Amino acid sequence: MRVYNFAAGPATLPVEVLEQARAELTDWDGSGMSVMEVSHRGKPFIGLAEQAEADLRELLAVPANYRVLFLQGGASAQFSAIPLNLAAADGSVDYVNTGAWSKKAIGEARRLVARVNVIADEAASKYTTVPAREALRPTAGAAYLHYTPNETIGGVEFPYVPDSGSVPLVADMSSTILSRPLDVARFGLIYAGAQKNIGPAGLVVVIVREDLIGHARAGTPALYDYKAMADEGSMLNTPPTFAWYLAGLTFKWLKAQGGLKVIGARNEAKAQLLYQAIDASGFYANPVAVNCRSWMNVPFTLADARLDPVFLAEARAAGLTNLEGHRSVGGMRASIYNAMPLAGVQALVQFMQEFQGRHG
Amino acid sequence: MRVYNFAAGPATLPVEVLEQARAELTDWDGSGMSVMEVSHRGKPFIGLAEQAEADLRELLAVPANYRVLFLQGGASAQFSAIPLNLAAADGSVDYVNTGAWSKKAIGEARRLVARVNVIADEAASKYTTVPAREALRPTAGAAYLHYTPNETIGGVEFPYVPDSGSVPLVADMSSTILSRPLDVARFGLIYAGAQKNIGPAGLVVVIVREDLIGHARAGTPALYDYKAMADEGSMLNTPPTFAWYLAGLTFKWLKAQGGLKVIGARNEAKAQLLYQAIDASGFYANPVAVNCRSWMNVPFTLADARLDPVFLAEARAAGLTNLEGHRSVGGMRASIYNAMPLAGVQALVQFMQEFQGRHG
């Protein structure tokens, strides 16, 4: 009995991926061992790891001059690794603040770089929109420009890729990677914690242009040094093998769905269905500017917040789980990543309409 | 069809643990979700996480003034985190070199601390023994004394816990933790990558005395700061939830076996059976001094190294896998962690005797 799970991350995975993992959990590929139990240095796992990277490269059409790293520590580790690898301690870096995850990245950068320039901050809108394209002007001499294409908590997504000129563009794509086609060549570095659109928690994927590798400052922990990791195929130490395996299954699943164009169209349709239901209701509301509403994370409120616990309890009883908004903001949030089928969003919309009928 | 898997890590897991994980992989605890898909902030996962810590504390009788952290990055991340948290950049630290993993810890410390004192180095014995107990005298002013109780590659294990006086004792217990009872109070900090005796790769357990927390130097990445992690119950960022879950199942399994006294007696019996077979054979040899032979990792050579590939191929055909020695040393190695049953060691010994009969 599976439910529709709208958690923001760790999030629902494709049921086909879980079923394959289950089928071979104690005997992977006829080895008589779980994939968790085999050496990361052995040919079978190396083959798996290389195939996962090849499939990800194919899905995102990653140019040849980019390295793909499979690391530990999640996106939060990259909040530190990016300044340690790309900027000097007395250097200057640019950040855009569009909400909670931007703020975390900025906070860690401030501990590690002398000048953190917040070149745009959407506080005035209460983080319900993104800066105008022309407002994003990199600071002269900045080592990079960091932004958060999709804010998981606020549900705000950039409808464009900023133009940072010769300053490398760095993006925390944790909650939007693989949701649609992407022009990787526009970026210096992309990173994404796995636990939304890639696989389980405990893995972060970094896609980084080669010329940005090899400049880690002295005192950077070895596992945070992109060059040390790239030189060893992300196996300077033992990688999180099971997470890598599940990521590989997810990439295969995405290819079997038809790739990112098909997935993107499906995600847009799912999001539009939900936003239209919210906007048409007169009972539910989403505060985000229409042109930058997230396809992945849809926060919404009820006309009467006292009904929130009733909504959540009845939703749970209807097989729709984890609809609580983030603890920092309250309300509701439906995360509808790649693995959430259209049927799940349809079931949510139907439930919302019935709930309104009973309580509205 | 399961094999007996003698891999050094990632290593075999208790089959009962894998079978439980498989049974509930798509529907954990009646939730309709995999444990991989639930929020780490939700009550069900918090309950799981707290129970895992409680079970580990019970197994090791961890004193109340120690914190237990569940982190990412494996033991290699701790090679950096330990100096960053416990020593000043211009400080002094002591290390004991008993083999490959000691060397890695020393190498990373040298990048992060001005004075790394190698107070004992067993190079003269080719790392087949450990220093005499009385030879281990901490340097005045050292921030800590680090050693590797069990060398996974060399198969050398300390038969005693060093007396470091008032200098905190720090131990990489990756390949020996939970193999027998331990007096945690002798240590300032214990760390262990999970992928041998705890669970899958992607998790490291740190047990650290409270007074050693809160002294991370400026510029330490947030996820490497013990205080930041301890304050958030190891959830400053999203933890590797599935690895934590499997660790919890393994702790429950250890308790069901009767705890560490029972496990320790079983491990000693397994090791003695194998070493006796090697010593009595006149065909197989183990180079390690008898008083410090590892209970967990048993390297051995054949009288004629040209038979190595034949041995490995025939062993594999007999359902005994991953007996290759580490690529840096060659020969054979049987890792016989907690999850390797006595029957597996018996099968290996029988195979070794038959192989000698055919080829000796």
Number of H helices, E strands in chain A: 9, 14
CATH homologous superfamily of B259-359 equals Aspartate Aminotransferase, domain 1 (3.90.1150.10)
How confident is residue A132, by pLDDT bands cut at 50, 70 and 90? very high
Please compute the mean of the pLDDT values over residues A305-328 and round it to a whole number. Answer: 95
**Average confidence score pLDDT of chain A:** 97
pLDDT of A143 above 90? yes
Question: Cβ–Cβ of A223/B73 closer than 8 Å?
Answer: yes
Q: Is residue A251 a contact partner of residue A59, using CB atoms and an 8 Å limit?
A: yes
Per-residue pLDDT at B330: 86
d(CA B334, CA B320): 10
- Residue spans per domain, chain A: 15-257, 259-359
Determine the pLDDT at residue B16: 97
Q: Which of A28, A55, A94, A196 is catalytic?
A: A196
Q: Do A259-359 and A15-257 fall under one CATH topology?
A: no
Top-tier CATH class for B28-257 = alpha beta
Best B18, B29, B34 residue to mutate vs chain A (most A CBs within 10 Å) = B34
Distance CA A62, CA A65 (A): 8
Select from A1, A37, A226 the residue whose CB has the most chain B CBs within 10 Å, as the one to mutate to test that interface: A37
**What is the per-residue pLDDT for A1?**
82
Q: Do B200 and A26 touch (CB under 8 A)?
A: no
Q: So what's the pLDDT on residue B136?
A: 95
Q: Cβ contact (<8 Å) for B31 and A321? A: yes
The residues, any chain, with a CB within 8 Å of residue B178's CB and separated by 6 or more, are B59, B60, B197, B198, B254, B260, B263, B338
CB contact at 8 A, A83 and A112? yes
The mean pLDDT of A307-322, rounded to a whole number, is 97
* Residues of chain A with C-beta less than 8 angstroms from the C-beta of B224: 221
- Tell me if residue A308 is catalytic: no
In A98-229, the DSSP E strands lie at 115-121, 145-147, 150-151, 156-157, 169-172, 189-193, 204-209
Q: What is the pLDDT of residue A29?
A: 94
Predicted pLDDT of residue A327? 83
For residue B223, the chain A residues in CB contact (below 8 A) are: 73, 76-77, 80
What per-residue confidence (pLDDT) applies to B108? Answer: 98
B38–A322 CB contact, under 8 Å: yes
Chain B residues lying within 8 Å of A37, measured CB to CB = 5, 7, 10-13
Q: What is the pLDDT of residue A360?
A: 83
Using one digit for the tens of pLDDT, what is the confidence trace for A42-60?
A: 999 999 999 999 999 999 9
Q: Per CATH, which fold does A15-257 belong to?
A: Aspartate Aminotransferase; domain 2 (3.40.640)
B-chain residues near A9 (CB < 8 A): 39, 238
Nearest to B267 by CA among B126, B355, B157: B157
Q: Which long-range contacts (CB under 8 A, 24 or more apart) does B112-116 make?
A: B112/A219, B112/A221, B112/B80, B112/B83, B112/B84, B112/B87, B113/B83, B113/B87, B113/B88, B113/B89, B113/B143, B114/B89, B114/B90, B115/B91
Q: Is A179 exposed, middle or buried (0-12, 13-18, 19+ CB in 10 A)?
A: buried
Contacts A–B by Cβ distance under 8 A: 222
Strand order in the sheet with A189-193: A66-71, A204-209, A189-193, A169-172, A145-147, A92-97, A115-121
* Record: contact B72-A76, CB cut-off 8 A: no
Residues B156 and B294: their CA atoms lie apart, in Å, by 5
Closest by Cα among A230, A246, A214, A187 to A63: A187
Q: Give A75's contacts in chain B (Cβ within 8 Å).
A: 237
* Cα angle for residues B109, B110, B111 (degrees, 5° grid): 90
- Whether B261 is catalytic: no
Among B112, B223, B319, whose Cβ lies nearest the Cβ of A76? Answer: B223
Residue A328, pLDDT above cutoff 90: no
Residuewise pLDDT in 10s, chain B (360 residues): 899 999 999 999 999 999 999 999 999 999 999 999 999 999 999 999 999 999 999 999 999 999 999 999 999 999 999 999 999 999 999 999 999 999 999 999 999 999 999 999 999 999 999 999 999 999 999 999 999 999 999 999 999 999 999 999 999 999 999 999 999 999 999 999 999 999 999 999 999 999 999 999 999 999 999 999 999 999 999 999 999 999 999 999 999 999 999 999 999 999 999 999 999 999 999 999 999 999 999 999 999 999 999 999 999 999 999 999 988 888 999 999 999 999 999 999 999 999 999 998
Average pLDDT over residues A293-297: 98
Q: Which among A11, A27, A237 has CB closest to B1?
A: A27
Which candidate in A34, A38, A217 is best for mutational testing of the B interface (most B CBs within 10 A)?
A34
B172 is catalytic: yes
CB contact under 8 A, A321 and B221: no
Residue-wise pLDDT for A242-282, tens only, equals 999 999 999 999 999 999 999 999 999 999 999 999 999 99
